[in-house]
C-alpha cells in the first residue's frame, strides 16, 4: 500500500519567492503525523498543493498513490480538510452546509443528510443543526470545521491549527475526538503552534523551515537530541567547581549549594556524577533532572540561519539515537531481539 502522503522534491514559487524548496516527506497510512514550523515555513503552501488550491512548480505530490494534479478527483476525495480560517457559507444552517459539502464529492442527497447528522453528533453540535454558522460561538465554529472535514468520510484528515484560539477544556475535547478518529483508522496530518499538542498526540513529527524539511522523528527522539539540566544539591556549598569527567556533560557550574550540569542525559549521567562528587569529598543530598522540551528542540532547529546545516545536524542526531538503541539490543538464537542488561 502507498503512504497516505508522499511528496518528492516538491517546489512552489510565488514570483521571486520560493515557498517550497525541494520538500521530501512521507506520511504513513494510519499515522498521527505532526507538521511543525515557524510562520512562513511553507506548511500552508504544502497543504494547499495537496488539496488542489495551489499548483506546484516542480516535484511530485501524491495522496494514497494518486497524483494531486493528474488524478485530482481521487486525491481530493481522500482528504478532509479543516483549515485554520473559517471559509464557510454563513447564510445557510450548518446541516445544509454539510450536506452541500458531501454533495460536492458525489454523495447522494439521502446519504449526505445522514452523514451531516452523524458528523454533527460526533462533534456535539446536533442540537445546533438549524443554526447559521455566524451564530455559533468560537468553540462551536472550531467543532463545525472538524465536522465539515469529516462529512465526506475521508481517509486522511488534514487539520490546520484545529485548536487555535479555543479554551483548555475544548482543546482537550478536540484532542480526544481526533485521537478516536485516528484509532478508528483515519490518518491525521496536524499542523500546530502548540508544541504540547504535537508532543502529546503525534506518532511522528516533521519540522520544516524555509520550505525545506529539517527532520522527521518521534517526539521522544527529538527530545533525546536536547540537553537536560541535572541539579545536584550538596550538603555543603563547593568552594570551587568540582571536576566531572563524562562525555555526556557539556557544562558544569556552581549555584549556591548546588552543582548544575548540562548533559545529554540527566538520568544516565546522575549516578556517575554522584560517584565522582563523593570521591572528591562532596555529599549529594538531593537531585533534580529537568528534561529538555520538544519546544526547546524546535526552537534550536529553526532559529538557525543555515537550514541545510540544521537539517544535517538533525539527521546525524537522529541516526546516532537510533544506532544507540540498536546497539542496546542483541539477537538470541531464536532470532528474537532481547534487551542487553546494562
Residues 34-93 have pLDDT tens digits of 998 888 889 999 999 999 999 999 999 999 999 999 999 999 999 999 998 888 888 899
* Claim to verify: residue 96 and residue 162 sit in the same structural domain: yes
* Claim to verify: residue 152 and residue 257 sit in the same structural domain: no
pLDDT at 341 over 70: no
Is position 312 within any domain? no
Is position 305 within any domain? no
* Claim to verify: residue 204 and residue 247 sit in the same structural domain: no
Q: Take residue 27 and report the three cell numbers written for it.
A: 506520511
- For residue 340, what pLDDT is reported? 30
pLDDT digit string (tens) for 94-122? 999 999 999 999 999 999 999 999 999 99
| 115 touches 98 (CB < 8 A) | yes
C-alpha dist (Å) from residue 285 to 133, 231, 268 = 60, 11, 18
Q: Is 342 helix (H, G, I), strand (E, B) or coil?
A: coil
Residue 231 Ramachandran class (φ > 0 left, ψ -120 to 50 alpha, else beta): beta
pLDDT at 322 over 60: no
* Claim to verify: residue 37 and residue 144 sit in the same structural domain: yes
- For residue 316, what pLDDT is reported? 46
Q: Which of 182, 197, 222 is the last residue of a domain?
A: 222
Is position 304 within any domain? no
For residues 234 and 229, which has the higher predicted lDDT (pLDDT)?
234
* Claim to verify: residue 49 and residue 125 sit in the same structural domain: yes
Place of cell 549516578: 271
Q: Take residue 308 and report the three cell numbers written for it.
A: 541545510
* Claim to verify: residue 173 and residue 285 sit in the same structural domain: no
Per-residue pLDDT band for 315 (boundaries 50, 70, 90) equals very low
- For residue 253, what pLDDT is reported? 86
Q: Take residue 284 and report the three cell numbers written for it.
A: 549529594
CATH code of 233's domain: 3.30.70
* Claim to verify: residue 100 and residue 123 sit in the same structural domain: yes
Is position 68 within any domain? yes
Is position 128 within any domain? yes
State the DSSP H helix or E strand holding residue 222, giving kind and residue range, or none if neither. Answer: helix 219-224
Q: Which of 181, 196, 222 is the last residue of a domain?
A: 222
* Claim to verify: residue 207 and residue 231 sit in the same structural domain: no
- For residue 164, what pLDDT is reported? 80
Q: In the chain, how many domains are there?
A: 2
Per-residue pLDDT band for 143 (boundaries 50, 70, 90) equals very high
> Is the full-model pTM beyond 0.95?
no
pLDDT digit string (tens) for 233-260? 988 888 888 888 887 777 888 888 888 8
Is position 173 within any domain? yes
pLDDT digit string (tens) for 203-224? 999 989 889 998 898 887 877 7
When mean pLDDT is compared across 206-215, 267-276, 298-307, the lowest value belongs to 298-307
- For residue 226, what pLDDT is reported? 67
Is position 116 within any domain? yes
Per-residue pLDDT band for 1 (boundaries 50, 70, 90) equals confident
pLDDT digit string (tens) for 20-32? 999 999 999 999 9
* Claim to verify: residue 186 and residue 281 sit in the same structural domain: no
* Claim to verify: residue 119 and residue 259 sit in the same structural domain: no
* Claim to verify: residue 132 and residue 193 sit in the same structural domain: yes
**What distance in Å separates the CA atoms of residue 43 and residue 208, rounded to the nearest whole number?**
8
CATH code of 119's domain: 3.40.50.300
* Claim to verify: residue 54 and residue 15 sit in the same structural domain: yes
Q: Which of 190, 222, 254 is the last residue of a domain?
A: 222
Phi, psi dihedrals of residue 222, rounded to the nearest 5°: -65, -45
The domain of 12 spans: 5-222
**What distance in Å separates the CA atoms of residue 29 and residue 2, rounded to the nearest whole number?**
8
Residues 6+ apart with CB under 8 A from 143: 123, 124, 125, 170, 174
**What distance in Å separates the CA atoms of residue 17 and residue 19, rounded to the nearest whole number?**
6
Per-residue pLDDT band for 326 (boundaries 50, 70, 90) equals very low
Percent of the chain residues past pLDDT 90, beyond the cut: 49
Is position 98 within any domain? yes
Average pLDDT of the residues in 146-160: 95
Amino acid at each position: 500500500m502507498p503512504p497516505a502522503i508522499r511528496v518528492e522534491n516538491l517546489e512552489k514559487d510565488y514570483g521571486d519567492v520560493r515557498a517550497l524548496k525541494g520538500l521530501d516527506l512521507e506520511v504513513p497510512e494510519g499515522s498521527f503525523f505532526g507538521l511543525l514550523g515557524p510562520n512562513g515555513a511553507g506548511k500552508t503552501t504544502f497543504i494547499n498543493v495537496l488539496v488542489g488550491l495551489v499548483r506546484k512548480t516542480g516535484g511530485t505530490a501524491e495522496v494514497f498513490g494518486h497524483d494531486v494534479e493528474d488524478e485530482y478527483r481521487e486525491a481530493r476525495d481522500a482528504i478532509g480538510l479543516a483549515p485554520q480560517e473559517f471559509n464557510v457559507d454563513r447564510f445557510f444552517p450548518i446541516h445544509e452546509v454539510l450536506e452541500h459539502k458531501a454533495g460536492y464529492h458525489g454523495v447522494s442527497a439521502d446519504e449526505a443528510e445522514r452523514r451531516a447528522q452523524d458528523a454533527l453528533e460526533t462533534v456535539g453540535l446536533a442540537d445546533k443543526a438549524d443554526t447559521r454558522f455566524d451564530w455559533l460561538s468560537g468553540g462551536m465554529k472550531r467543532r463545525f470545521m472538524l465536522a465539515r472535514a469529516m462529512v465526506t468520510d475521508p481517509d486522511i484528515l488534514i487539520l490546520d491549527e484545529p485548536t487555535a484560539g479555543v479554551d483548555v477544556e475544548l482543546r482537550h475535547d478536540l484532542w480526544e475526538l481526533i485521537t478516536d478518529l485516528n484509532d478508528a483508522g483515519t490518518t491525521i496530518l496536524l499542523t500546530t503552534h502548540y508544541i504540547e499538542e504535537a508532543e502529546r498526540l503525534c506518532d511522528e513529527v516533521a519540522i520544516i523551515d524555509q520550505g525545506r524539511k529539517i527532520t522527521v522523528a518521534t517526539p521522544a527522539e527529538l527530545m533525546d537530541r536536547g540537553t537536560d539540566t541535572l541539579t545536584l544539591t550538596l550538603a555543603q556549598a563547593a568552594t570551587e567547581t568540582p571536576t566531572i569527567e563524562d562525555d555526556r556533560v557539556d557544562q558544569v557550574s556552581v549555584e549556591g549549594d548546588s552543582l548544575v550540569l548540562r548533559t545529554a542525559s540527566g538520568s544516565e549521567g546522575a549516578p556517575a556524577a554522584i560517584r565522582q562528587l563523593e570521591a572528591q569529598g562532596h555529599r549529594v543530598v538531593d537531585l533534580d533532572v529537568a528534561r529538555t522540551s520538544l519546544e526547546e528542540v524546535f526552537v534550536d532547529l529553526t532559529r538557525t540561519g543555515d537550514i541545510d546545516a540544521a537539517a544535517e545536524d538533525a539527521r546525524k542526531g537522529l541516526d546516532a539515537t537510533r544506532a544507540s538503541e540498536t546497539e542496546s539490543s542483541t539477537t538470541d538464537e531464536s532470532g528474537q531481539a532481547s534487551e542487553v542488561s546494562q
